[in-house]
Structure 1
Amino acid sequence: MPTRRICLASAVCVAAVLWSARQILKKRRLKSADQLAASRVTVTAADSRSMEVAPVPDEPITASLDPYTWDSETSVAYEAAVEAINGVVGAYSARIAAESSKPETERNTQALAEWRQLRTECQRARETLDAGDSQAVAMVRREYARRARELAA
């Protein structure tokens, strides 16, 4: 395997970028994810510490994505649904921050745990929302807008 001498901080940045690229490919279940994961390079820093990273693919990751036709209505509805979820995540985060700033003896740990769990569920919903599923996008938009209003009240 080829070895390249670079700064360890650069190696960490390269590894982070390549890890992100592999995660995107895996999430989209592309064939090239296996090819990218199978091909690895050992990077050695100037102080002899080394780490194994995957090389940069020859072509952009986006080249292997299936084409998807967006119209303005679809893209605006999807972005509005994501923003509605973000509003709820922000509301839970604000509640968590306010409760966490109280002295430990006055904190409601049960509420903190519940809000953290609900915030995690919102984040999962945001990650799994499919822009192509207009019914799901509309439902998420309605539900999370309602929840954001309730949390703001």
Structure 2
Amino acid sequence: MEQGSESIPNVEPDAFAVAPQFDSTEELRVEIDESDETRPVRYTSDVRLILHTKDLASRAGLAVASKFGQSKQSASQIQQIMDKMSDDDLLATVRSRHIQAPSEIIAWSKELSAYAENLESQAQELIDAENVKQEAEKAAAASAGAASSE
């Protein structure tokens, strides 16, 4: 290598290079305080952006703010089940703030498990009853079809 010449690295992308894909709101999660000479960086969460939608709309525009609000994830399976539960069932799954000792927590957990088993057995009974009803309807339709063909 000659004196004065610099080594230039090979920066061409290879066949396996993968570029990360960023959401259009990703840059809004990073705030740099330009007024401070140390330029501190603050990373915000999705929740903050949702709660401060007006600020988001003024910074990024109404289109980005509305897109951000619409791009929420679908509810998890547990959330979908909980959405269908009655208020009494939901309250039965919440631990009282007075249950704090380990023995109380264990007892409450066992009670909750028994309650869940009871709900499962009730659901299974409903499913079985519906299956019996459908089988009876199929049998009645089959016998009616056989009687009409005779």
* TM-score, structure 2 normalization: 0.27
**RCO higher in 1 or 2 (8 Å CA, sep ≥ 6)?**
1
Q: Which structure is higher in helix share?
A: 1
Instruction: Choose 1 or 2 for highest CA Rg.
Output: 2
Q: Which structure is higher in strand share?
A: 1
